[in-house]
Amino acid sequence: MDRLKALQTFLDVAKTESLSAVARDEGVTPAMIGRRIDQLEEQLKVKLFRRSTRKITLTPEGVAFFEDVRNILNELRAAEESLTAGARSATGRLIVSAPTAFGRKHIAPHLPAFVELHPNLNVTLHLSERIVDLKNERVDLAIRIADLKNADLIATKLARNHRVVIGSQSYLKRHGKPATLADLARHNCLVTATEDGLADSWSFRDGTKNVAVKVAGDMHCNDGEVLTRWALAGHGLAWRSAWEVSEEIEKGRLTEVLPKFAVPGSDIFAVYPDRRFLPAKVRLFIDFMKKTFGDPPYWERNGK
């Protein structure tokens, strides 16, 4: 038996004091309405109605049950209406985690526009290189730039990403512009330093093949923004994501070299816990960022 249907039938019969009236409204027989009431009473082990040939009335137990059932069903309808409204507009608090540099450049500048669209929503942006535990921490979604392999999480691609080799005009005037991958061997390459050592192997695509090129230079850093600043100052070539340096390329402060060998990088994803029903605030934020970034993303269009 459908419990909610039985409870609604109980309310309707109590209000009309008639099985026949409820049956007519539903387009079923009075016997079917009577069976629902019988089954409900059997499950509850309580007599809810007194029946006579002329009318059906509530027992004292039925009167007490009526108030509880009416309140429960009213609250359920209110919850459903609230959820339906929430599918169209975001409310409450949205907590987003993002990598520091990407968050500063491409998430934080767009949040005012998102909040303006959803004035009943508060947004908290956490910028950190730490990988948050979405299952156990109070974070609604995280922005990640990586090859995602965690089957316990759901990922939605926000934008594509690719890597570029860049240098300043002053550096290229002094040392020349590399024309082939082999030319990198004679250039000062600004390399990322990691906890595991130097990331001194840069990836490229030569025709249909992926190629790793060993590079070397006299300065290394674990902060990508520092590497970009060194490149801007003319100290060498750097291998950066397009989203990091597109503005500098567009304004002529940096020049992309070896563009025909550029290799796709790790794409940009919104990651959230595996949930059957995605909260409206998360879905709306993802849709907003995808539309804002575009395809191709605006940082690639600006860099052309």
CATH number assigned to the domain comprising residue 207: 3.40.190.10
pTM of the model: 0.67
Instruction: Give the tokens for residue 127.
Output: 């910028």
Same-domain check for residues 234 and 248: yes
Distance in angstroms (rounded) separating the CA atoms of residues 247 and 251: 6
Same-domain check for residues 54 and 201: no
Looking at the 3D structure of the chain, how many domains does it have? 3
Same-domain check for residues 189 and 201: yes
For residue 77, what pLDDT is reported?
72
Of the three residues 27, 52, 86, the one that is the final residue of a domain is 86
For residue 303, what pLDDT is reported?
45
For residue 79, what pLDDT is reported?
65
Distance in angstroms (rounded) separating the CA atoms of residues 55 and 210: 84
Same-domain check for residues 174 and 216: yes
DSSP H stretches of helix in the chain: 3-16, 19-26, 30-44, 60-86, 100-102, 111-117, 169-175, 224-232, 242-250, 280-293, 298-303
**Counting every residue, how long is the chain?**
304
Same-domain check for residues 123 and 174: no
How far is the CA of 216 from the CAs of 68, 202, 238, 243, 264, in angstroms?
Answer: 75, 10, 11, 24, 22
Same-domain check for residues 270 and 220: no
Same-domain check for residues 37 and 112: no
Of the three residues 25, 54, 86, the one that is the final residue of a domain is 86
Same-domain check for residues 236 and 148: no
How far is the CA of 131 from the CAs of 106, 137, 146, 152, in angstroms?
Answer: 19, 11, 11, 14
Same-domain check for residues 78 and 117: no
- Do the Cβ atoms of 181 and 211 come closer than 8 Å? yes
Buried b (16+ CB within 10 A) or exposed e, 241-251: bbbbbbebbee
Same-domain check for residues 103 and 248: no
- CATH code of the domain containing 50: 1.10.10.10
pLDDT below 50 — which residues of the chain? 303-304
Same-domain check for residues 133 and 148: yes
Same-domain check for residues 137 and 188: no
Residue 118 structural domain: 92-161+266-303
Rounded to an integer, what is the distance from CA 150 to the centroid of its chain?
Answer: 15
Helix (H, G, I), strand (E, B) or coil at 289: helix
Distance in angstroms (rounded) separating the CA atoms of residues 163 and 242: 6
For residue 236, what pLDDT is reported?
97
For residue 86, what pLDDT is reported?
54
Of the three residues 61, 86, 111, the one that is the final residue of a domain is 86
